[in-house]
Chains A and B, each alone.
Chain A
Amino acid sequence: MNKMKKEVKDNPKKQPRNNREILILTYFFLAIFVAFIGYLIYFQAAHGEDMANSPYNRRRQNQLAQKVVRGQIMDADGEVLAKTEIDDEGNEVRVYPYGNLFSHVVGYSMNGGSGLEAGYNIRLLKSHASIFDRVQNLLSGTKNIGDNMVTTLDRRLQEAAYYGLGDSRGAVVVMNPKTGAVLAMVSKPDYDPNEIGELWDYYTSEDSQGDSSLLNRATQGLYPPGSVFKVMTALAYLRENDDKYEDYLYECTGSINIDGEVINCYHNEKHGTVDMKHAFAESCNSAFVDIGYHVDKQTLIRLCKSFYFNSKFKLPLAFSKSSLAISRATTTYQIMQTVIGQGETLVTPMHMAMMISTIANDGKMMQPYFVDHIENDAGTTIKTYKPKQMDLLLTTRETEIMKEFMTAVVQEGTATSLRNSGYTVAGKTGSAEYGTKKGSSHSWFICFSPVEDPQIAISVIVEGAGEGSAYAVPVAKNILDAYYYD
């Protein structure tokens, strides 16, 4: 290019005038090509690995597995959660030392894979072993050792969640609200990933109809949120009545009737005269239907959308998107149901963990992540994953008010069993009725602790158990006790 320009300058008289136009277009194409090369580098750096890891790209991944021994998955302390052992005949076996404990979150690598095994398949099949080792392997014809993945999972909290849930069906997600690091994730019923090969025939046969052990309820289970949704309703109300919410008063008679449609409080309990904080703490349905009914539907829809209802977010595990069933066309009864988390709104435990974490983290929603860093077989760090903020969704004032409300839930409301535990907790209980049968409900509890400087956020659901305080709260307590006292 410079050469050409010089050429033109050197012989100004010789050159016909339209060289200028030709040069302009040449520079134009140069700009396009520079941009393209930049794009190609950006693509590879930012998305290349994600693309390579696609479930539609399994053939290439399997090809990599021919050359690399799959790396290990470890918890935050370096304890091995998944490793590949090679027997005398050279057969590779994937071993999960903790069996059922990490079944859904770590997943399995055979049969298409699941969990982190699938989400980071290509990472585990890449080798950054030292050049010396790799050349030696090349010469001797042996496989390279794949990179190891150190997760953010905390074994103590995982155990507390696992044993806390016991034999109940349900799910638990524990996060660090400030970073989005997932500290524990349990789904029940579970399975032993060591036996996935044998179990596979059963799970794919007709006998297994209705057995959902392979399903990760924490990210894929869709549940009605019940009273946990009152967090969103309260936020929508605060957004519209920022300065007046303290004046709100409601006379609860155990049920509310709007246009002939009736909603009852839990067990028809009469809460008497409640302000907003007490309505929240006592989880008074009647007051919240009244609050929700006075909120502009669009405000609630916009708020929920900003919290990723009805939309996807980035997660390395298979997940379902939460759905908010409220639009311009819904009837009065449906609106009354939706604002207290009944009706057709469905959420995942993971999503609720993100919601509570956002409140704990001053309105900043963090990208949930599971992997702290990748290291090679010698322990040298290859890549570190940094926390990422997804959105700033709430004002400080909004989070302060919500923290106050949620503290009241523990201090004087539906989760008082956590009141004298030696640490401060703020949360919200929920009992989500499901099905048509009266009295069958899921027990929810979402919380964070300590209130002053939140370090841990928990989302618990116990299926078909009943009232929030009776079943989900003890699971959370088990985790918090482990966090503070173990």
Chain B
Amino acid sequence: MTSIVTTAANYLIIIIFAVYTYLGFHVFKKKTEEERRHIYRIQALSVFAISFLAYTVLYLHTESLELLLYYGAQTMFFLAVLIAFPMIYKNCSRLLLNHLCMLMSVGFFMIARLDLERSVRQFLIAVAGVLISIFVPVMINKAKFLKKWTAFYGLFGFALLAAVFLLGSVTGGSKINVTVHGITLAPSEFVKILFVFFIAGMLHKNTSFRRVAVTTLCAAAHVLILVLSRDLGGALILFVVYMSMLYAATKKFSYVGAGLFCFSGAAVAAFYLFSHVRIRVLTWTTDFDVLKNDSSQVSQSLFAIGTGSWFGSGFCQGLPETIPVAVSDFIFAAICEEFGIVFAICLILVCFSCFLMFVNSSLQIKDNFYKLVSFGLSVSFIFQVFLTIGGDSKFIPLTGVTLPLVSYGGSSVLSSVIVFAIIQGLYIMKRSEGEVHE
């Protein structure tokens, strides 16, 4: 019985998710609001359907009552988000809301399958994040001072990173976390947002050479302190975000060229200075034929992806627990193993669809500050997705960052929810002015 349900659920989940993904792009072809709403409703139902199937399988394999309670709570949560949020903000982007719920849901059940306790913790933080994010659109709309706090964003962000450098605990060779009163935080997740606001504040009006030079120095300070903490993934994300925002603000490709030139130098230096960078780059250049006789992190990840193949081994049928840090940095490999590459490609497309929605808001906003904010957040989001999925599959060297909304990590999920809320705020702001269509 269990095996029949597991097998059937596996294919159903893949099919539903594929339909969900397709609709996410198909919706743009629909002209009327009515047609679009219909599609959004189907998508929302898919979130519940996939969650139901996943927890059914999980229950058959664990027979844990706690799990049923957890499933109930989650369903209530998604119902609340998908119904209440559009009621409060009727101009929000329903597509983005669906994507938010779908990505979180995939993360919840994948983590629950690996470690129920952590999944529950992740869920509680996500609930808190959504509660906070209800107020974010109000802030975006009403608070005019947001543009004027530039110095605060820069100094506070830098101070947080400095605190990590000075007080942080070392995990996996890098300092990312700080523990305050028993609560472990990864401040760099929030600094990404502050950083985007800081750069937007600096460059939205004035792009003189002097201004750019000062901004670059401040940005470099952020990046450098992350490098000193050996959080190279975080440093890389801030660097790419800065280059993208600088290019969008100044329209000068020469700045990007200069930045890439400096980056090449820094990358070579990092290769020789940091042994873990060297190891990761060398692993990346190693042939698959050699990696298969190896037990490194990336090999383990590739074994999982390769064994899962196109349609996965089925939920609870693989061995994702053998992948190192499967709940966070390698959750993409864990998903590939049990749900297969077809599902994983859909997941990537959903992330990309989020990115397009982010960029879309940026394109349509006239206010240069918010335009830059939203573009900076878009790049931060999609580049982080790229680093984690690319690293897990040896497309690029491993950097060890999380998959936003999916990977385990309180700070990561909280900051990602806030980013989505900021973008929602921008949609709401523009639509209230009657200018934006999705």
Chain A residues close to B by CB (< 8 Å): 1-4, 7-8, 14-23, 25-26, 29-30, 32-33, 36-37, 39-41, 43-44, 47-57, 59-61, 63-64, 122, 138-139, 141, 312, 314
Q: How far is the CA of A61 from the CA of B306 in the complex (A)?
A: 11
Evaluate whether A56 and B310 lie within 8 angstroms (CB atoms) in the complex, with A63-B319, A314-B289 already known.
no
Evaluate whether A41 and B341 lie within 8 angstroms (CB atoms) in the complex, with A3-B28, A14-B366 already known.
yes
Q: How far is the CA of A8 from the CA of B288 in the complex (A)?
A: 44
Evaluate whether A60 and B356 lie within 8 angstroms (CB atoms) in the complex, with A14-B366, A16-B371, A22-B363 already known.
no
Return the chain A residue nearest B351 by Cβ. A33
Q: B366 to A43, Cβ gap below 8 A?
A: no
Does B270 reach chain A (CB closer than 8 Å)? no
**Which one of B4, B251, B304, B341 has the greatest number of beta carbons of chain A within 10 Å?**
B341
Q: How far is the CA of A221 from the CA of B375 in the complex (A)?
A: 62
User: Nearest 3 CB-CB pairs, A to B?
Assistant: A51-B306, A48-B306, A57-B303
Contacts of B360 in A (CB 8 A): 3-4, 7
Does B220 reach chain A (CB closer than 8 Å)? no
Contacts of B225 in A (CB 8 A): none
Evaluate whether A138 and B3 lie within 8 angstroms (CB atoms) in the complex, with A25-B248, A33-B352, A54-B299 already known.
yes
Return the chain A residue nearest B243 by Cβ. A25
Interface majority SS (helix, strand, loop, mixed), chain B: helix
25 contacts across the A-B interface (CB closer than 8 A): A4-B359, A7-B360, A8-B363, A14-B366, A17-B251, A22-B248, A25-B248, A26-B355, A33-B382, A40-B344, A40-B393, A40-B395, A41-B345, A43-B306, A47-B302, A50-B289, A50-B306, A51-B299, A51-B306, A52-B303, A52-B307, A57-B306, A59-B322, A61-B307, A63-B318
Q: A37 to B348, Cβ gap below 8 A?
A: yes
Contacts of B375 in A (CB 8 A): 22, 25
Q: Min CB distance, B253 to chain A, in Å? A: 9
Return the chain A residue nearest B310 by Cβ. A44
Contacts of B379 in A (CB 8 A): 25, 29
Evaluate whether A16 and B366 lie within 8 angstroms (CB atoms) in the complex, with A33-B352, A56-B293, A60-B319 already known.
yes
Q: How far is the CA of A23 from the CA of B244 in the complex (A)?
A: 11
Q: A25-B379, A36-B348 are in contact. List 12 more A-B contacts (CB 8 A).
A: A7-B364, A18-B251, A25-B248, A33-B352, A33-B386, A37-B345, A39-B395, A41-B345, A50-B292, A56-B300, A59-B319, A314-B289
Contacts of B286 in A (CB 8 A): none
Q: How far is the CA of A48 from the CA of B7 in the complex (A)?
A: 21
Evaluate whether A36 and B389 lie within 8 angstroms (CB atoms) in the complex, with A4-B363, A52-B306, A60-B319 already known.
yes
Evaluate whether A51 and B386 lie within 8 angstroms (CB atoms) in the complex, with A14-B366, A37-B345, A138-B7 already known.
no
Does B362 reach chain A (CB closer than 8 Å)? yes
Q: B288 to A18, Cβ gap below 8 A?
A: no
Q: A53 to B292, Cβ gap below 8 A?
A: yes
Q: A48 to B368, Cβ gap below 8 A?
A: no
Contacts of A4 in B (CB 8 A): 356, 359-360, 363
Does B184 reach chain A (CB closer than 8 Å)? no
For B, the interface residue count at a CB cutoff of 8 angstroms equals 56
Evaluate whether A19 and B303 lie within 8 angstroms (CB atoms) in the complex, with A50-B292, A53-B292 already known.
no
Does B294 reach chain A (CB closer than 8 Å)? yes
Contacts of A61 in B (CB 8 A): 307
Q: How far is the CA of A10 from the CA of B28 in the complex (A)?
A: 16
Q: B299 to A48, Cβ gap below 8 A?
A: no
Q: A36 to B248, Cβ gap below 8 A?
A: no
Q: B363 to A15, Cβ gap below 8 A?
A: yes
Q: B4 to A49, Cβ gap below 8 A?
A: no
Q: How far is the CA of A20 from the CA of B307 in the complex (A)?
A: 43
Q: A43 to B363, Cβ gap below 8 A?
A: no
Q: How far is the CA of A312 from the CA of B345 in the complex (A)?
A: 34
Q: Min CB distance, B313 to chain A, in Å? A: 8
Does B64 reach chain A (CB closer than 8 Å)? no
Evaluate whether A19 and B363 lie within 8 angstroms (CB atoms) in the complex, with A50-B306, A51-B305, A52-B309 already known.
yes
Contacts of A49 in B (CB 8 A): 306, 309
Q: How far is the CA of A57 from the CA of B294 in the complex (A)?
A: 10
Return the chain B residue nearest A14 by Cβ. B366
Q: Min CB distance, B426 to chain A, in Å? A: 14
Q: How far is the CA of A57 from the CA of B300 in the complex (A)?
A: 8
In the complex, per-residue mask of B414-433: 1 if CB is within 8 Å of any chain A CB, else 0: 00000000000000000000
Q: B247 to A25, Cβ gap below 8 A?
A: yes
Q: B251 to A44, Cβ gap below 8 A?
A: no
Contact of A32 among B294, B304, B310, B386 (CB under 8 A): B386
Q: Min CB distance, A314 to chain B, in Å? A: 7
Q: Min CB distance, B239 to chain A, in Å? A: 14
Q: Min CB distance, B233 to chain A, in Å? A: 17
In the complex, per-residue mask of B296-340: 1 if CB is within 8 Å of any chain A CB, else 0: 000110111111011001000111001000000000000000000
Return the chain B residue nearest A49 by Cβ. B306
Contacts of B259 in A (CB 8 A): none
Contacts of B393 in A (CB 8 A): 39-40, 43
Evaluate whether A60 and B395 lie within 8 angstroms (CB atoms) in the complex, with A18-B248, A33-B386, A314-B289 already known.
no
Q: A16 to B310, Cβ gap below 8 A?
A: no
Evaluate whether A44 and B305 lie within 8 angstroms (CB atoms) in the complex, with A22-B359, A36-B386 already known.
yes
Q: B348 to A33, Cβ gap below 8 A?
A: yes
Q: How far is the CA of A16 from the CA of B344 in the complex (A)?
A: 37
Q: Min CB distance, B374 to chain A, in Å? A: 9
Contacts of B305 in A (CB 8 A): 43-44, 48, 51
Does B32 reach chain A (CB closer than 8 Å)? no
Q: How far is the CA of A258 from the CA of B141 in the complex (A)?
A: 93
Evaluate whether A57 and B4 lie within 8 angstroms (CB atoms) in the complex, with A16-B368, A33-B348 already known.
no
Q: B309 to A44, Cβ gap below 8 A?
A: yes
Return the chain A residue nearest B386 by Cβ. A32
**Which one of A1, A47, A59, A138 has the greatest number of beta carbons of chain B within 10 Å?**
A47
Contacts of A15 in B (CB 8 A): 363
Q: How far is the CA of A14 from the CA of B434 in the complex (A)?
A: 14
Does B44 reach chain A (CB closer than 8 Å)? no
Return the chain B residue nearest A126 by Cβ. B309
Does B295 reach chain A (CB closer than 8 Å)? yes
Question: Which chain B residues numbered 393 to 425 have a C-beta less than 8 Å away from chain A?
Answer: 393-395
Contacts of A55 in B (CB 8 A): 293
Contacts of B302 in A (CB 8 A): 43, 47, 51
Q: B249 to A51, Cβ gap below 8 A?
A: no
Q: A57 to B307, Cβ gap below 8 A?
A: yes
Return the chain B residue nearest A56 by Cβ. B295
Q: B4 to A138, Cβ gap below 8 A?
A: yes
Contact of A47 among B28, B306, B382, B389 (CB under 8 A): B306
Q: How far is the CA of A7 from the CA of B28 in the complex (A)?
A: 12
Q: Min CB distance, A296 to chain B, in Å? A: 31
Q: How far is the CA of A210 from the CA of B345 in the complex (A)?
A: 53
Q: How far is the CA of A19 from the CA of B379 in the complex (A)?
A: 14
Q: Min CB distance, A143 to chain B, in Å? A: 11
Q: A51 to B292, Cβ gap below 8 A?
A: yes
